[in-house]
Structure 1
């Protein structure tokens, strides 16, 4: 009876979490959060951070600055030099961000999982159409890893290897929460949310192409890429495909989320996850993530 009562309590908490973070006007709340976090007021930022710390494990000990003019400055904070050593082995990909590892492993044909029992197809994630079909085939039977950034984490992401970013594809969408509770309830959630496709050509023999897919979520639907001169967000009305010519060394900063979200990394057949990269594990930007073929 005690075990059943504990299960009922946990389910009740999950139901409440789901209702409070999903069955709400998501787009309106996301815009409101963007406006609020951008207000330039040091005392308001300090007060907001104090409240934020009551609900998260926010740690600013590694932050380059300790005083912020806005909440957004805290969200997108830089770290002190050397706070994230980069894996030096050229045979390994480094994690592009601090994160909790979600679903990961081998791509099954062109199907992957957001959570146990909740599959989605690469073609749908990549937006549908001939171009999406091309990329889906490119990662057939490859490897993937889902990296979820919590609100308290370092929100900047970096190049997992020396690479060239040739284009960015922006896909408008919803802003469902991407926490584990929502991933176990909303089918094809990543395929519904706002996201971007970043095909990255690695600067190694054969020039394999990784695909980084930053996915937005409630309260966080703005993506800043250094390769672009514009901010990607729900009210963006520019071209869906944007040509770039950005080259990054391994560990170079590529951009940031305004709050926190998810990055899914796809690699072609032959890449494998490094030992210890498993669901639920915390990784830091720069730590080993995948091994290159050969």
Structure 2
């Protein structure tokens, strides 16, 4: 009896492992940057029929729901990726002790920053100094919380201010475009530190520092911020430093990805995960992410 119950399970695990290998091969063992740049050009083609066809193909692979979108007709695939929602679709928790999720997303690794290290997946640490780049001091987040939010391609791709505050500095770091799905995170060391990303340093209205790190991925190589008149993309090499003073109200739209990717949130000591937030939790922008410990 024991043998007959374990054999199917082993077969299922083998099939799952084969699927993960295929996923990793198809999305990472390809010319990622060239494919991403080509996708960027394709997504900007303004053609109603081509856009409808692309969305129909997209829906074969992902549960794309456009019922909340302000518009259901799009000029281009990019127009669909970066769609706005109907007013009131993402209400933000107004309690002053709550930091809200800046975007829709699935909670990945989360926990406490210890000795300047955090995790992209179980057993796969990376240094905050590598993520933030050579010009930024991340020590203020030692002992604080980090949460990784993964956006799938079908999700709403815009992100918002998690609380009232001011964006004081943006560092843009060009990089690779590895896929950021769980398979790649478990296999590619320091993946977030290799990919294109922006580090948004905020000062909350209550005085605490906060950091949001949008990380791009394969097919996603542009990040737009409303308060900077520049499109952040792979052509900007090196660490690009952009001091600013952009006041943000809780829930105010900050920018968007042009497909889907990851946002990592860093809060200083004094915050804890909001009730129900753990690895695997799916959140919408505006729902409680962290709460201030009284």
- TM-score for the superposition, normalised by structure 1: 0.96
Q: 1:25 aligns with which of 24, 31, 50?
A: 31
Q: Is the 8 A contact 2:151 2:262 kept in 1?
A: yes
Answer yes or no: is 1:50 the counterpart of 2:56: yes
| d(CA) in 2 for partners of 1:203, 1:47 | 46
Aligned to 1:144: 146
Q: For each residue in 1:40-81, what CA deviation from the matched residue of structure 2 results, as whole angstroms up to 9, or x when unmatched?
A: 001111110011011001000000001001000000000000
Shift of 1:182: 0.2
SS at match of 1:240: strand
| d(CA) in 2 for partners of 1:48, 1:110 | 43
After alignment, is 229-238 or 164-173 more displaced? Answer: 229-238
Shift of 1:109: 2.5
Q: Which runs of 5+ in 2 are unaligned?
A: 1-6
| d(CA) in 2 for partners of 1:218, 1:162 | 32
Q: Quote the RMSD (CA, aligned, Å).
A: 1.1
| d(CA) in 2 for partners of 1:156, 1:43 | 25
SS at match of 1:242: strand
Q: Is the 8 A contact 2:209 2:268 kept in 1?
A: yes
Aligned to 2:3: none
Q: 2:155 aligns with which of 139, 153, 163?
A: 153
Aligned to 1:98: 104
SS at match of 1:181: helix
Aligned to 2:200: 198
SS at match of 1:184: helix
SS at match of 1:275: coil
Q: 1:60 aligns with which of 56, 62, 66?
A: 66
Shift of 1:263: 0.3
Answer yes or no: is 1:10 the counterpart of 2:16: yes
| d(CA) in 1 for partners of 2:278, 2:115 | 20
| d(CA) in 2 for partners of 1:12, 1:36 | 31
Aligned to 1:77: 83
Q: Is the 8 A contact 2:200 2:211 kept in 1?
A: yes
Q: Is the 8 A contact 2:212 2:265 kept in 1?
A: yes
Runs ≥4 residues deviating over 4 A: none
Aligned to 2:176: 174
Aligned to 2:4: none
Q: Is the 8 A contact 2:153 2:259 kept in 1?
A: yes
| d(CA) in 2 for partners of 1:2, 1:185 | 26
SS at match of 1:78: coil
Shift of 1:239: 7.0
Name the count of aligned residue pairs. Answer: 288
SS at match of 1:100: strand
Shift of 1:238: 8.8
| d(CA) in 2 for partners of 1:239, 1:185 | 26
User: Equivalent residues in 2 for 1:252-291 (5 A)?
Assistant: 252-291=252-291
